[in-house]
Amino acid sequence: MIRLWLLGSLRRRAGRLTAAGLGVAIAVALLASLGAFLAHAKATMTSRAIHGVAVDWQVQVQPGADPAKVGQLLRDTPAVAASVRVGIAATSGLSAETAGSTQTTGPGVVLGLDPAYPRTFPGELRLLTGTLNGPLLAQQTAANLHAGPGDVVTVGRAGLPPVQARIAGVVELPLADSLFQVVGAPATAQRTAPPDNVLLLPSGLWQSSFEPLAAARPDLVTTQFHVATTRALPTDPAAAYTAATGAANNVLAHAAGTAAVGDNLAATLDAARQDAAYAQVLFLFLGLPGAILAALLTAVLATAGRDRRRLEQALLRARGATTSQLTRLAAVEAAVVAGLGAVVGLATAAAVGAGAFGTARFGTTTGTAVAWGAAAAVAGLLIAILTVLVPAWRDLRAVTVASARRSVTTPRYPLWARYGLDAVALVVAGLVFSASGRNGYQLVVAPEGVPMLSVSYWAFAGPALLWLGAGLLVWRAGDLLLGRGRRLVAAGLGPFTGRLHTTIASGMARQRRPLALAIVLLTLALSFAGSTAVFNATYRQQAEADAQLTNGADVTAVPAPGTTPPAGLAGRIAAIPGVRAVEPVQHRFAYVGPDLQDLYGVRPDTIRHATALRDSYFSGGTAAGLTHLLAAQPDAILVSAETVRDYQLTPGDTLTLRLLSGGSGQRVPVRFRFAGVVSEFPMAPKDSFFVANADYVAHQTGDAAVGAFLIDTGGRNTGTVARAVASLAGPSATVTDITTVRHSVGSSLTSVDLAGLTRVELAFALVLAAAAGGLAFGLGLSERRRTFAVITALGARPRHLRALILSEAAAVSLVGVLAGAAAGTGLSFMLVKVLTGVFDPPPSSLAVPWAYLLATAATAVVALVGVAAGASHLARRPAMTLLHDL
């Protein structure tokens, strides 16, 4: 019996089974593709995070402990691949006699490095000039002392005679913040700024110079071991963070108080695991709605043949079939739908993964790949059970043979509609959104001292309830419009259908429930496509803004500190093909109270020619207004929000900063007037900095040296221009382009995988939009072939049938597109607001990809019109032929 049923279904209802299978396939393909994205993204985040760490651990020997024993402990630790001893001593000051004058600095730090250190940890030092074989000056210290290779620097020692060192080279310390961290400080403690004055000595010279100081003043001398671990870590950032933290804790346990560990590897993985949590959030926000929509589509497709299934069940029950037998038949149908959907869906997902992520696997390992594929297939099976088997089983339990054979039934108003569930969902969505938008809201939080992340999943309720409420409200509106509002529909159809408008409106009222379902599906599909597209466009916009802020412009050239760029360099750079504008920017350091902060001197009238300044970067005025104020009032200064808060500044306050004078090399006070707040600025750090008028700074300090050149290329040929600029600026200058920076700034989620996720999401959204309207509407028309045959037999002309079918397609298209646009707009605002933590900097406005949105709406409408045209053509067949086929 099962075999006959299956063969008959495949022969007589192949179209309906195929359509339901395609609905399942869309859900399976979407879930498997997003699973591949999630697994691949997490592995890439871990790899990028580890690659960016120069020194995994900084193990500091505690006072009174034996450094040799700590070194032996590290050598005996399986997780340690290499360790190098580093001496750290405080100096009372450095001085150098150059060009007939003596330059002196304040207190600083002297490091003692083994000759193998640069090879073991190449990311810690970058040679600017000279050689690494000998004493080295940090670039800022070299600028302060006006010293370079060959100069002799005198090193002060507290209570002891000074020592001298002949400089071999000048180096940059790219990771100074972590290099000079306070090892063993509580995680809640604020990280101190790195020292201004740093001298690096070979380990032998350091020991001979500072071992006497260690004996007299042990509080001024410490020993560290810089460690490279084996990095045998899991691919998931959260698991890698736990493993890295555990390895460091293992050292602490065996050290028994003789050492403290600064775990740079775990600190970096901590940020990566937060990105991984956001990747998981994006999977839920952007993946599950698509899968749910595919399940709803499958349910509607299965519902399209429900009346015929009831008649078939009634006939079989009248001929003696039992409930268990009919349930098995429905289970077979569900299995066919699920099997077809799983095979097609997984094959599609493999093709999508190969195109979007560069791999057809559903995970980075065989285990994760099999798990994601199996999970997606199980999800497809559940969809088939819920949409095919459960309704058939419920009909067998609740519907009698007599009622199932009725050809005319009165549809009941759903229970949710009678109780206003749509209004409740929308109101609760608004309340949740309001609560999640309060100050201090964070979707992903890393609780202090807890190795696990906390994700505020309740924030999902806002967008989910908005989506659900919008769908239910559209169903109610469509049912009312096509039912009680049929006169309005008839009036709208009058100019196009003539005297048939009343008849067509009455027919649409009769079919309002399936038409309302088609409208709801189209609305949900378009809102899903619209919100996803707006979110992705906004994300790309903010990722570009983040890259601009980090690099400063399309191409940025930074001369080595203490050096003067060649005369006329800006003009020669401007002559490079592809360069549209060149803007010199000063970069100084200024003391406000005891704090040392960055200061950027700009030309207010032209700075906007080379880089983007958004209004969202400023408070108390627009970007154009505040830069104009800097030009009109040369002593005006823009201050970061953190400094304004720390020093309780108000607009108009006089602010005295101590800047380096180019003539004397001393810090001189310069008066500014606080004019506005700046939260973001090209090249500036994320915490504290100043922006001032470059001419005023140069006049007050006697130093007009340029700290960077911002170069605008219009976003094109940045790599070629960067290479040309590097050849002009010389080997000591640092030249970066936005293309390179774009792949390293922001969260690793942004820089690695979001482009592939965007393509996947938008492609599936386009397919769902077309399928939601076309398949649902088409199957509804297919189930009404008998009605069309009867109408034809009663004398209806082909043009009458065409008018009826096209009118229904027009109603579904018009209402669905308008409702989808409204729901998508609201969902976009809510989605971007809830996911604010993903954006850096937060957007001031949404980016709307009009081309994609119009293409999606057009695709859905074309699918509806195409189905309507096909149905109109089939309806032209002779009535007797149609009735014979049925």
pLDDT in tens, 79-97: 999 999 999 999 999 999 8
Q: How many CA atoms lie within 13 A of 841 on its CB side?
A: 21
Residues 514/508, Cβ–Cβ less than 8 Å: no
Tell me what percent of the residues of the chain surpass a pLDDT of 70: 80
Region of 93 (left: φ > 0; alpha: ψ -120 to 50; beta: rest) is left
Cα 88 to Cα 99: distance, rounded to the nearest angstrom: 30
Q: What is the pLDDT of residue 68?
A: 92
pLDDT in tens, 573-587: 999 999 999 999 998
**Which pair of tokens denotes residue 160?**
């002891």
Q: What is the pLDDT of residue 251?
A: 93
Q: What is the pLDDT of residue 348?
A: 85
Tell me what percent of the residues of the chain surpass a pLDDT of 90: 25
Q: Which residues in 500-509 are b (16+ Cβ under 10 Å) and which e?
A: bbbbbbebbb
Q: What is the pLDDT of residue 484?
A: 87
Cα 176 to Cα 660: distance, rounded to the nearest angstrom: 21
Q: What is the pLDDT of residue 73?
A: 94
- Strand, coil or helix: 640: strand
Residues 711/581, Cβ–Cβ less than 8 Å: yes
pLDDT in tens, 392-444: 777 666 665 555 455 555 567 788 888 889 999 999 988 888 877 665 556 66
pLDDT in tens, 238-289: 889 999 999 999 999 999 889 999 999 998 888 788 777 777 776 667 667 8
Q: Which of 506, 526, 529, 528 is nearest to 518 (CA)?
A: 526
pLDDT at 661 over 70: no
Higher pLDDT, 803 or 1: 803
Q: What is the pLDDT of residue 189?
A: 46
Q: How far is CA 596 from CA 192, 637, 684, 687, in A?
A: 11, 16, 14, 12
Q: Give the distance, in angstroms, between the CA of residue 563 and the centroid of all CA atoms in the same chain.
A: 39
Q: What integer is the mean pLDDT of 501-524?
A: 83
Predicted structure pTM score? 0.73
Q: What integer is the mean pLDDT of 291-300?
A: 76
Confidence of residue 453 (pLDDT cuts 50, 70, 90): low
Q: What is the pLDDT of residue 221?
A: 93
Residues 660/693, Cβ–Cβ less than 8 Å: no
Does residue 565 have a cis peptide bond before it, meaning omega lies within 30 degrees of 0? no
pLDDT in tens, 210-229: 999 998 899 999 999 999 99
Q: What is the CA radius of gyration of the chain?
A: 35
Q: Which of 515, 409, 407, 475 is nearest to 804 (CA)?
A: 515
Confidence of residue 193 (pLDDT cuts 50, 70, 90): low
Q: Which of 18, 648, 32 is nearest to 333 (CA)?
A: 18
Which amino acid, one-letter code, is at 283?
F
pLDDT at 764 over 50: yes
Q: Please give the full DSSP string across 487-507, using - where no structure is assigned.
A: HHHHHHHHHHHGGGHHHHHHH
Q: What is the pLDDT of residue 20?
A: 76
Cα 795 to Cα 777: distance, rounded to the nearest angstrom: 25
pLDDT in tens, 479-500: 898 888 888 888 888 887 777 7
| Burial class of residue 568 in the structure, from the number of CB atoms within 10 Å of its CB (0-12 exposed, 13-18 middle, 19+ buried) | exposed
Find tokens 């998931």 and name the residue: 236
pLDDT at 339 over 60: yes
Confidence of residue 840 (pLDDT cuts 50, 70, 90): low
Confidence of residue 845 (pLDDT cuts 50, 70, 90): confident
Least confident of 637-651, 682-696, 750-764: 750-764
pLDDT in tens, 137-170: 998 788 778 888 999 999 999 989 999 999 999 8
Cα 183 to Cα 783: distance, rounded to the nearest angstrom: 74
Centre a 10 Å sphere on the Cβ of residue 172 and count the other Cβ atoms it contains: 18
SS (H, E, C) 250-298: HHHHHHCCCEEEEEHHHHHHHHHHHHHHHHHHHHHHHHHHHHHHHHHHH
How many Å from the N-terminal Cα to the C-terminal Cα in the chain? 22
**Residues forming a β-bridge with 200:** 111, 136
Q: What is the pLDDT of residue 693?
A: 94
Q: Which of 311, 337, 338, 339 is nearest to 326 (CA)?
A: 311
DSSP code of residue 358? S
Confidence of residue 40 (pLDDT cuts 50, 70, 90): confident
pLDDT in tens, 590-615: 888 777 788 999 999 999 888 888 88
Cα 131 to Cα 144: distance, rounded to the nearest angstrom: 20
Least confident of 359-368, 469-478, 521-530: 359-368
Least confident of 54-68, 483-497, 652-666, 823-837: 652-666
Helix axes 288-304, 14-51, angle to 10 degrees: 180
Residues with Cβ within 8 Å of 227's Cβ and at least 6 positions away in sequence, in order, are: 55, 56, 57, 58, 59, 74, 80, 82, 83
Q: How many CA atoms lie within 13 A of 831 on its CB side?
A: 30
Q: What is the pLDDT of residue 446?
A: 54
